[in-house]
Amino acid sequence: MTTELTQEGTARELATDRGVLRYHEAGDGPPLLLLHGSGPGVTGWRNYRGVLADFAEHYRCLVLEFPGFGVSDPCDGHPMAMAKFAVKDFLDGLGLSDVAIVGNSMGGIVATQFAIAEPERVNKLVTIGGAGRSVFAPSPGEGIRLLMEFTDDPTREKLVRWLRSMVFDPAIVTEELIEERWALATEPKTLEIARRMYSTEAFAAGARAAAASNDTPYWAQLGKIKIPTLLTWGRDDRVSPVDMAMLPMRELPRGELHVFPNCGHWTMIEAREAWLATVLAFLKRDDA
């Protein structure tokens, strides 16, 4: 990383009909949209601050903060559903019609759904875990179950247990990380919105609704994504186990998979250098 970027110096706002979307912007070049994951105290800045400067040397980086996670204006509906609206509102508001997208976990699912719905607006797609469907591993994964336990009854101990499930190396879960996550995760409005998604009751209701729905799930439409797609995964991911990549690898016409050893769910943090090299090579490659 050769350029010092700060949270305050990169912060931007975009007014939309559904509220103010906040984001971080850095760099020049082709637009690269970075979408964060879910979980207590998550933000786009925290997901990508360690790699933003590296991407900004080549791209106009836009790190969107999804509604419902304590940075952009709160949402009224389910955070996942509102995230899909937010991506469209954001790109429309900035006048962007053709972007590459990097999505972490939930952000990868949202990016995949957007690429299916509006294929002409996405030229390359990178996911970090999450996007797929369990084939062999139990579902939900260990990390999701710990997240549900925290959401039902938020304690510092449960937050730490969830954070440690996100990584291969527990040393990454520092006191500083714990404190910054705890502060936002327990903010009343953010916690209330999180319970719409990850409380035991909400999770069960979502599963029942999915079972009763006649809508085709996104993972059964992956063949519609014709653009080059790179799946990146931690071999030791306990949130979205790596066998979830099997279905996308079969269905994505131009899909590729890179698995990083000794790495959990936060591939861009725990395998930073290798992940950056892999993703930058993919994004810069001419696939025309």
- Active-site residue identified among 24, 36, 258, 265: 265
* Residue 280 CA neighbour count, 13 Å, CB half: 17
265 annotated active-site: yes
3-state secondary structure of 68: coil
Q: How far is CA 21 from CA 24, 84, 100, 155, in A?
A: 10, 13, 19, 29
- Bridge-based pairing state of the strands 122-128 and 229-234: parallel
Q: Which two tokens stand for residue 153?
A: 């009854």
Q: Which two tokens stand for residue 279?
A: 């993703």
Contact in structure between 267 and 110 (CB atoms under 8 Å): no
Q: How far is CA 166 from CA 136, 144, 145, 147, 271, in A?
A: 20, 10, 12, 10, 13
Q: Which two tokens stand for residue 21?
A: 């979307």
* Residues sharing a CB contact under 8 Å with residue 183, sequence separation 6 or more, in sequence order: 41
Q: Which two tokens stand for residue 194?
A: 């999180």
d(CA 33, CA 10): 14
Q: Which two tokens stand for residue 278?
A: 């892999």
Active-site residues, by number, are 265
